[in-house]
Amino acid sequence: MSIPFAQRLNQVETSAIRELFKLLGKPGIISFAGGLPDSAMFDVEGIRAASEQVLQNDSAAALQYGATEGYQPLREQLASFMHSKGVQGLQPEQLIVTTGSQQALDLLGKTLIDPGDKVIVEGPTFLATIQCFRLYGAELISAPIDGDGVQTDRLEQLMAEHRPKLVYLIPTFGNPSGALLSLERRRKVLELAVRYNTVVVEDDPYGDLYFNAPPPPSLLALSHEVPGSRDWLAHCGSLSKVLSPGLRVGWLVAPPELLAKATMCKQFSDAHTSTFAQATAAQYFRAGRMPATLAQVRAVYAERAQAMGDALRQELGDAIEFVQPQGGLFVWARLTGAHGRLADGNELASRAIDQGVAFVPGAPFFCANPDVATLRLSFATADVAKIREGVGRLAQALRG
């Protein structure tokens, strides 16, 4: 006899990427595979000062159980942070703090998805979203993207055809695509949400990581221009990419009824997010350190993105094509097969490991019709010299 597991587990499999990550321990590997920020850029002193301040002035609250909705001073800081990014009239009560934005996705799945419900995602999209929604029984449908993000005409056709329960997008420097949804398409997405009475989830962990110019306003910031759209819009934010993933502080903005249901589900998921981490994050904002931190990570990632783009063009030439990213952590590239070169990302990934460089092949990021010629390369954690060396090794691997 063995334990009879729930049937929902049959919807998901262990990710192919996890297997790849096991190989990353090999000595000397230069990794473009991660999806994480560079720990060398954490503002350790700022976080130390914030946590010490919290334990000195507010330990009883910071170490005690807290409201499921979140630690009120952090909700206030986050509302004000969102305001500084163009979101109008957001009250602290219109967001809840989540245990990373991953939990916001989980709560949306739990709150909204019945087995068999259709969910439209970008092709490609964030793997953990695909799996998270599948665990609730969602049937995923892939909307194609290009350099301007999701193709809204195709998105509309898919919405009309499938009447999905929700549409999930990463409009700004998406993972893995790095794509930036154009302003015009953003307006269109909001109009579609209203026209089809369909919840649109905007996952926005990367929007703060822009390089030369700020991206167009988030769907949330833009929603006041499209009457009724706020009633169908959920927005997930995160401190993981800009401050520290280890705090596990994310947030969810949603219409009141959806937020109330998500809060109820959170009550039974983890009661609340660490008050110690929340209070530390709140104090970090209050101390005014966030703007300088953002400026620094933007500058460092911009330099690395440039270095990676330059090296790829120089070393791989027309064997690869990609849009130079304007923010985020990733170059999303496609092997062209020019000059008879390899055009299979999985095969290249395994050859690359032998050459001492790692990246993630793009195919697993598609919930349907994978493009096997694609690759995701993170420029976040290697410095410029390592980036050049790693791309050199990649070129070597491609030559075979």
Q: Are 248 and 274 in contact (CB under 8 A)?
A: yes
Q: Which is nearer to a copy of itself, 90 or 279 (CB)?
A: 279
Tell me: does residue 350 bind a copy of itself (CB under 8 A). Answer: no
Would you call 53 exposed, middle or buried from its count of C-beta atoms within 10 A (0-12, 13-18, 19+)?
middle
Among 31, 77, 94, 111, binds a copy of itself (CB under 8 A): 111
Tell me: does residue 110 bind a copy of itself (CB under 8 A). Answer: yes
Tell me: does residue 273 bind a copy of itself (CB under 8 A). Answer: yes
Piece in contact with a copy of itself (CB under 8 A), picked from 81-89, 251-259, 287-295, 297-305: 251-259
Residues 229-248 that bind a copy of itself (CB under 8 A): 232, 240, 244-248
139-146 and 149-150 beta bridge pairing: antiparallel
137: left (phi over 0), alpha (psi -120 to 50) or beta: left
Q: Give DSSP secondary structure letters for 285-304.
A: HHTT-HHHHHHHHHHHHHHH
Among 267, 296, 314, 350, binds a copy of itself (CB under 8 A): 267
Tell me: does residue 284 bind a copy of itself (CB under 8 A). Answer: no
Angle, helices 384-399/290-316, rounded to nearest 10 degrees: 30
Tell me: does residue 114 bind a copy of itself (CB under 8 A). Answer: yes
Q: How far is the CB of 52 from a copy of itself (least distance, A)?
A: 7
Tell me: does residue 212 bind a copy of itself (CB under 8 A). Answer: no
Among 136, 173, 322, 332, binds a copy of itself (CB under 8 A): 136
Q: How far is the CB of 274 from a copy of itself (least distance, A)?
A: 4
Q: Give DSSP secondary structure letters for 124-183.
A: S--HHHHHHHHHTTPEEEEEEEETTEE-HHHHHHHHHHH--SEEEE--BS-TTT--B--H
Token readout for 238 is: 């995160």
HSE of 33 in the Cβ direction (CA atoms, 13 Å)? 26
In order of 151, 217, 219, 333, the CA distances from 181 in angstroms are 9, 10, 10, 17
Reference 319, options 262, 390, 394, 377; nearest CA is: 394
Tell me: does residue 197 bind a copy of itself (CB under 8 A). Answer: yes
Q: Which is nearer to a copy of itself, 257 or 318 (CB)?
A: 257
Q: How far is the CB of 77 from a copy of itself (least distance, A)?
A: 18
Tell me: does residue 2 bind a copy of itself (CB under 8 A). Answer: yes
Residues 20-79 that bind a copy of itself (CB under 8 A): 36-37, 39-40, 42, 44, 47-48, 51-52, 55-56, 59-66
Q: Which is nearer to a copy of itself, 164 or 174 (CB)?
A: 164
Tell me: does residue 149 bind a copy of itself (CB under 8 A). Answer: no
